[in-house]
Amino acid sequence: MTPSTSGYTVSDDFNVFVVSDGTAKTALMVVQAALAQFDLPRVRVLPFGQVRNQEALYNILDMVRVQRDIMVYTLVNGEIAQLLRAEAVNRGIVVVDLLGPLVDVLHRISSRQPRGEAGLFRRLEDSSDKTQAIEYTLEQSTGFSEAKLDQADVILLTVIFPHRDECMFILAEQGIKCGFLLLDPHLFPSPHWLQVMEKMKQKVVGVTADLEYLRKIRLERLQALGLDCLLEKADLQEVKKETEFAQKIFEELKCPVIDITNLSSREIADQILSQIQRKKEEAK
C-alpha cells in the first residue's frame, strides 16, 4: 500500500524520480503531461531507466528525500516492483505505479498471462516524427551541447529557460525536435560557434524576458539547489550583462526573438510554434 501524502511538506520544490526497467520514456511522458497542468518551474524530473536489480533500485531510493520527493514507476518485473512498494512503505515515500493497475485489469479480463518482460513497448514503437522528437528531447535537453543541433527543427538561444522540460515535451508531442543552448558572456562563443549558428540560423529563435523576472527565477533555482556560492549570478547587474550579451548574439544572427516573461510552458510553446510556422511561410 502506498504511503499517504499527509505527512508531506507542502512545497513547489521537489523531485519526481521516474523509474523504469525499460527506457523510462513512457513514464517520463506521463509525468511531463501531468506537470504541464501546473506552474512548477522548480520541480525536477529525474529519469532512471534499465532498473532491473535490487542494487540499482536501492541506489535510487537512497537519493529520495522522505516526505518531500515522489517516485513514479513502470516496472514489469514483479519482484522489483514489489520490492519498491515495500521499501516505499518502510521509508515513508509516495510512489505511483503507472503500469501495474492496467496490466492487472488486462490480466483479469483476458486469457493471457503478462510476459513481465522489460522493453517490449520500445521494440513495438515505430519511427514516427513524434517518437523521434521525444527521443531527441530526452537526449538533447541539457543546454550545453552543440551535438546534434543540426537535427533540431528549432534551436532556442537563451540565458535561462523556465519551464524547459514541459515546453520541450509539448513541442515533442507535435513531432518537433527542440534544441537549445544557454548563452553565457563568461564563455564567449568562438568564431567556429558563430559559423555553425549562421549555417543553422533559419532554425534559430532567441528567447528573452524581463530582467527582474529572470533575476527572480534564477534566485529561486539557486536557493532551491542550495548553491549559495553562486547567488551573485542572480544579481540584477549580472542578469543585465547576460541579456545584453544574448541580444548581441541575436542581432548577429538576425534571428526572431520571443519574450517569455511570466508565460506558462504552454504559452511559450505556442510562441515557438508561431515562429516555426512563420519561418515555413517565409521559406515558400
Average of per-residue pLDDT across 116-135: 60
* pLDDT interval class at 125 (50, 70, 90): very low
Beta bridge partners of 47: 18
Average of per-residue pLDDT across 273-280: 87
Q: What's the confidence (pLDDT) of residue 188?
A: 63
Q: What is the CATH number of domain 129-283?
A: 3.40.50
Q: How far apart are CA 154 and CA 110, in angstroms?
A: 45
Is 98:72 a contact under the CB 8 Å cutoff? Answer: yes
Q: How far apart are CA 59 and CA 50, in angstroms?
A: 13
* pLDDT interval class at 1 (50, 70, 90): very low
Is 181:149 a contact under the CB 8 Å cutoff? Answer: yes
Given this chain, do its domains 5-124 and 129-283 carry the same CATH topology?
yes
Mean pLDDT lowest among 51-60, 159-168, 184-193, 250-259? 184-193
Amino acid (1-letter code) at residue 265: S
Question: What is the residue-averaged pLDDT of the chain?
Answer: 82
Q: Residue count of the chain, please give it.
A: 284
74: its cell numbers: 513502470
Is 250:196 a contact under the CB 8 Å cutoff? Answer: no
Q: What's the confidence (pLDDT) of residue 144?
A: 64
243: its cell numbers: 541579456
Is 95:73 a contact under the CB 8 Å cutoff? Answer: yes
CATH class belonging to 5-124: alpha beta
pTM: 0.55
Most trustworthy range by pLDDT among 123-127, 166-170, 186-190:
166-170
Q: What's the confidence (pLDDT) of residue 115?
A: 62
pLDDT at 124 over 50: no
The residue among 135 and 273 whose pLDDT is bigger is 273
Model confidence over 2-26: pLDDT tens digits? Answer: 556 777 878 888 999 999 988 888 8
pLDDT at 127 over 50: no
Model confidence over 36-88: pLDDT tens digits? Answer: 888 888 899 999 988 989 999 999 999 999 989 999 999 988 889 999 999 99
Q: How far apart are CA 15 and CA 40, in angstroms?
A: 11
Beta bridge partners of 29: none
Is 181:151 a contact under the CB 8 Å cutoff? Answer: no
Most trustworthy range by pLDDT among 112-116, 159-163, 183-187, 255-259:
255-259
Domain ranges of the chain: 5-124, 129-283
